[in-house]
Structure formats: structure tokens, C-alpha cells
Amino acid sequence: MNPTIAYITFRGMLGRRRALLLFLLPAVLLLLSIIIRLTGYNDLDTATGLLTKFGLDALLPLLALLAGTGVIAPEIDDGQIMYLMTKPIARPIISTTKYLVAVALVIGFGVVPIFISAVILNGLTAGLATGFALGALVGGIAYCALFIAIAVLSRFAVTIGLIYILVWENLLARYAPGARTLSIRQWAISVTDLGTNATAVTSEIHGSTAVPLLIVLTILGVVFAGWKLRTLAITGTD
């Protein structure tokens, strides 16, 4: 990891318009959690439904898309990435540093708010907060790896990412049994299920399958991003 690149990337991400969405999405989740708690409808089923449908299904992948593409795609589009490539820094170090920044953003704006929301709703009952925090963490790590790989592959990374989230994760993976096995959302729910005793959290994929797949996807995504960035340095084009 390169501290200078990390600092510049953090500063760039938090200074862009998309930073508003980074703050807005978790703010909505926290607000909904407070409202539900105040109205007294904060039973485990309701809490699980909110944390799953809004937290894991919407908040997490959208934040990962914003972070995973935002840390590198704009620099590729405007050519600024070539400036970094003229420095004596290994290309995989550049991509890995930006990936770690994306993960840090997802943890700060996704994992932590999901944990806080769970605590607001039900405290530490049945390990709900811990389970969802773990699920969000591993899911965010995998999503960021996927989206940063897409970002170095195509100039239409955000569009491709949105299609992936809407069509694959929230349509095919919900209703097609075979697609569920290759769903980051399902993997995250599986890890959540491992971390909580709440019966309302149910997974259709066993943890012994989900965890290895999460690891494989993450490694492949990060390695591919580094390889592709090295290719960009050679050709100068995308």
C-alpha cells in the first residue's frame, strides 16, 4: 500500500459530488432505524428485514459501486492515472492501494452504520448487530474487488455495476436457484447467518461454500485490476 496514493484517493473521493451519496445512504438507514425503534416495531423480524433489504441488498452494493469505481475510474477517464504510472511505483501497488481505500470507505459508510442500526433496533440481542456487520464486511470486500476490476476494464463501469446489482443480485439471484450460488448478496447473508442466533436470518448457501467463494472472487478481482493496470501502462489506452 502507498500512503501518498491512499491520501490523494481519499481526498478525491470525499471531495466529489458522489461523496454526498456516501453520506446520504447510511443516513437514511440510521433514520429508518431510529423511527422504527421509536414506534416500537423493532422486533427481530422487522430489524432483520430492514437490515437485509436496505442494508445488504441496497446500501452495501451501491456504496461499494460508488467506492470501487470512484477510486480509479475517473482517473482512467481523464488520463490522470498515466501520471501515477510514470512514477516508480508498481502497478499492482497502485490498484491495491485504491482497492483498500474503497474497502475503507465501505467499512466507514456501510459496515459501521449497519452495525449501529442493528444496535439501535435491537441492541446486541441474538448477535444481530455482529452478524450483519460481519456479513456487510465480507460482502463489501468482495463487491469492491469486483467493481474495481470492472472499473479498469471498461469506461462504463458504473452502468455495468448498476446492471449487475439490479439484474443479477436483485432479480436472477433471488428467483433462479443456480444463480444464488454465485451471488455476493447470498454469500454475505450466509456469513451473517453464521454470526447471529436470530432465526429470522436464513441463508440458502452454506458458509462452507460462501466463504471460499468470497475469498476467490476478492483475490481474482484485485489481481485482475493490477494486471489490467499494467496493460494500460504499456498501451496507454483502455
Q: What is the DSSP letter of 236?
A: S
Specify whether the CB–CB gap between 137 and 111 falls below 8 A. yes
Top-confidence residue, 128 or 21: 128
What confidence tens digit (pLDDT) does each residue in 2-12 have?
898 999 899 88
pTM exceeding 0.75: yes
pLDDT at 114: 98
pLDDT at 234: 47
| H or E element in which residue 210 lies | helix 207-235
What confidence tens digit (pLDDT) does each residue in 112-170 have?
999 999 999 999 888 999 999 999 999 999 999 999 999 999 989 999 999 999 999 98
- Which candidate, 114, 112, 125, 127, places its Cα nearest to that of 50? 114
pLDDT at 89: 83
What value does the mean pLDDT take over residues 62-68? Answer: 96
Specify whether the CB–CB gap between 204 and 129 falls below 8 A. no
Give the torsion sign (CA, 81, 85, 88, 93): positive
pLDDT at 238: 40
- Which candidate, 179, 226, 191, 156, places its Cα nearest to that of 60? 191
Q: If you write DSSP's letter for every residue of 86-124 in order, what string do you get?
A: TSS--HHHHHHHHHHHHHHHHIIIIIHHHHHHHHHHHTT
Specify whether the CB–CB gap between 102 and 12 falls below 8 A. no
Quick one: what percent of the chain has pLDDT higher than 90? 65
- Distance separating alpha carbons of residues 97 and 9, to the nearest angstrom: 9
Quick one: what percent of the chain has pLDDT higher than 70? 97
pLDDT at 236: 45
Is 80 exceeded by the pLDDT of residue 199?
Answer: no
What value does the mean pLDDT take over residues 16-29? Answer: 87
Is 80 exceeded by the pLDDT of residue 237?
Answer: no
